[in-house]
């Protein structure tokens, strides 16, 4: 186990812990299924420092929205979905028009896309998110018939994670 930890020393503590957790589960299953007699060692996870989240202040966010709007409608829409609805990248990609209720001004976030695999959102269950007036207007303006997905390419294919992140990063750089 120490040898494995040594080989993983260049990785982040969280990554090492993910690997050790999988190994621990495998060893426990091997004992449960009588593949091995007992756990050969105990698995001790590395300490992981708690990270703090940073947020844009109101002026920074408005600069970001303006910069995204100057790039293109898609970048503007992505920034609004993230900033005003709090959607994660995978939730944006998996968002479908049937999840949008403009009359009630709310989104139903019930799926997330991870590299083409559609699953439940991070919390494991759906949630309803109120729409700001600006986001509701952007949704009305963005409405299309190319796909059931809200975010898609011109050919109707869903945007990829990299496409969404690129647009957000480009807006962020433009807004300084």
Mean pLDDT, to the nearest integer, of 7-20? 92
The residue ranges of every structural domain in the chain are: 1-51, 58-174
DSSP letters, the chain, are -HHHHHHTTTS-HHHHHHHHHHHHHHHHHHHHTTSSSS-SS---PPP-PPP------HHHHHHHHHHHHHH-HHHHHHHHHHHHS---HHHHHH-BGGGEETTTTEEEE--EEETTEEE--TTSS-EEEEPPHHHHHHHHHH--SS-SBSSB-TTSPBPPHHHHHHHHHHHHHHT-
CB 112 within 8 A of CB 121: yes
Q: Which of 85, 83, 48 is nearest to 69 (CA)?
A: 83
Instruction: Name the pTM for this structure.
Output: 0.72
Residue 59 pLDDT class (50, 70, 90 cuts): very high
Could you please state the CATH topology (level 3) that the domain comprising 58-174 is classified under: hpI Integrase; Chain A (1.10.443)
Q: Which of 118, 129, 122 is nearest to 158 (CA)?
A: 118
The C-alpha atoms of residue 76 and residue 124 are separated, in whole angstroms, by: 28
The C-alpha atoms of residue 45 and residue 32 are separated, in whole angstroms, by: 22
Residue matched to tokens 């439940």:
120
Mean pLDDT, to the nearest integer, of 145-156? 91
Residue 110 pLDDT class (50, 70, 90 cuts): very high
The C-alpha atoms of residue 98 and residue 140 are separated, in whole angstroms, by: 13
Q: Given its phi and psi angles, is residue 114 left (phi above 0), alpha (psi -120 to 50 degrees) or beta?
A: beta
Residue 5 pLDDT class (50, 70, 90 cuts): confident
Residue 33 pLDDT class (50, 70, 90 cuts): very high
Q: What are phi and psi of 162, to 5 degrees?
A: -65, -40
Minimum mean pLDDT range among 18-27, 49-58, 94-103, 121-130? 49-58
pLDDT over 80 at 53, yes or no:
no
pLDDT over 90 at 101, yes or no:
yes
Cβ neighbours of residue 39 under 8 Å, at least 6 residues apart?
27, 28, 31
């Amino acid at each position: 186990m120490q040898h494995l930890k040594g080989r993983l020393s260049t990785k982040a503590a969280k990554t090492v812990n993910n690997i050790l957790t999988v190994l621990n589960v495998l060893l426990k299953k091997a004992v449960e299924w009588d593949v091995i007699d007992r756990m050969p060692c105990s698995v001790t996870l590395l300490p992981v420092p708690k990270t703090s989240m940073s947020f844009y202040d109101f002026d920074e966010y408005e600069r970001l929205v303006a910069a995204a709007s100057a790039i293109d409608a898609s970048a503007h829409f992505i920034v609004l979905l993230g900033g005003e609805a709090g959607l994660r990248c995978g939730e944006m990609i998996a968002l479908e028009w049937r999840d949008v209720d403009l009359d009630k001004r709310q989104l139903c976030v019930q799926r997330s896309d991870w590299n083409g695999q559609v699953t439940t959102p991070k919390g494991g269950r759906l949630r309803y998110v109120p729409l700001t007036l600006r986001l509701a207007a952007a949704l009305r303006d963005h409405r299309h018939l190319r796909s059931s997905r809200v975010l898609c390419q011109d050919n109707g294919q869903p945007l990829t994670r990299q496409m969404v992140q690129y647009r957000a990063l480009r807006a962020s750089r433009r807004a300084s």
